[in-house]
Amino acid sequence: MKNKIMISILAVVILLTTSCTRSEDDVIRISPFSEEENVYVQLYLPNKSMSCIITELSGVYDLNEAKEIEETLDIMQNRTMESGSFVSMEYLKILNTSVVSDTVFIEYYFDNGNELDEMEECLMLYSIVNTATNYENIDFVKLTNSNGSNYFSKYFNIESPFTPTNTLLYKDYISPIETVEKFLNSVIVKNIPDSAAEAKANNIFYNTGFDIVSYKITKYEYNKYGEYVTVKTNIMLQDSSGNYTNENISFLLELSSGKYKIKEIVE
């Protein structure tokens, strides 16, 4: 395992009890290491009460080097079930893990009874991705839902491999869809800000032939969560005469100064 360090560093790990407002530069990040028979692994945990991912060291007696990623994920899952502060991974079953080159392949399924909201799904997903890529030469995680779905649970498309992110590490979760909703509200009142992205939206929405008075986002999905996020939406638009039309529109968002902003819109 990478970044071997002295066990004395454990003394400086502080238990976090406040909201996730710490700077990433203040975070002490320790990768897995072993010394003789004592093994410590770093976990990325989905702390829903703090709306972010936190890190935590967990000590175990030994790890099977050939299956250390699989065993570390198992430790992480068990840890999430020990406290109501975490998004519990009780319903997540990891069937198989394998490593090919720089990618970890994880096959999984959810038991019946799983109900995750958008934030919980995101925190769980990236706890897995960040923990699995915490090993040397591992850069990507390719998830496979054994029931054939292209989604992790409901909101995140898993067709492409994921890379780890620090966007959620000790930082409050920001919902990308709220930025899209705010923009759509500005469309209705015809008060679109003057920017390249919004100008393009002016053509997309106003050339529908509709005098748009209301909308409903019937479905949306994310490709990832990080500095950039693509939000694919299906939007039902209604005009003043009660007519409806459906539009499939993708929004590329960029995280800037703690907020998501629309960078590009594509029909």
pLDDT in tens, 73-127: 999 999 999 999 999 999 999 999 999 999 999 999 999 878 899 999 999 999 9
Distances (CA, A) of 230 to 117, 153, 180, 253: 18, 17, 11, 6
Among all chains, which residue has been given the structure tokens 């454990």?
10
Question: Would you state the pLDDT for residue 201?
Answer: 62
Q: Are 45 and 76 in contact (CB under 8 A)?
A: yes
Q: Which of 209-213, 219-223, 224-228 has the lowest mean pLDDT?
A: 209-213
The pLDDT of 59-65, averaged and rounded, is 79
pLDDT in tens, 142-183: 999 999 999 999 999 999 999 999 999 999 999 999 999 998
Q: How confident is the model at residue 32 (pLDDT cuts 50, 70, 90)?
A: low
Distances (CA, A) of 234 to 2, 152, 180: 44, 19, 12
In the predicted structure, residue 11 carries a pLDDT above the cut 70: no
In the predicted structure, residue 9 carries a pLDDT above the cut 70: no
Closest to 248 (Cα-Cα) out of 227, 218, 214? 218
Phi first, then psi: give them for residue 67, nearest 5 degrees. -125, 25
26 secondary structure, DSSP code = G
Helix (H) or strand (E) holding 127: helix 118-132
In the predicted structure, residue 72 carries a pLDDT above the cut 60: yes
3-state secondary structure at position 131: helix
Farthest-apart Cα atoms in the chain, separation: 75
What lies within 8 Å, CB to CB, of 106 at 6+ separation is 73, 94, 96, 97, 128, 132, 141, 142, 143, 144
Q: Which of 35-44, 104-113, 171-180, 245-254 has the lowest mean pLDDT?
A: 35-44
Which comes out higher in pLDDT, residue 184 or 77? Answer: 77
Q: Give 75: exposed, middle or buried? Use CB within 10 Å, 0-12, 13-18, 19+.
A: middle
Question: Would you state the pLDDT for residue 37?
Answer: 59
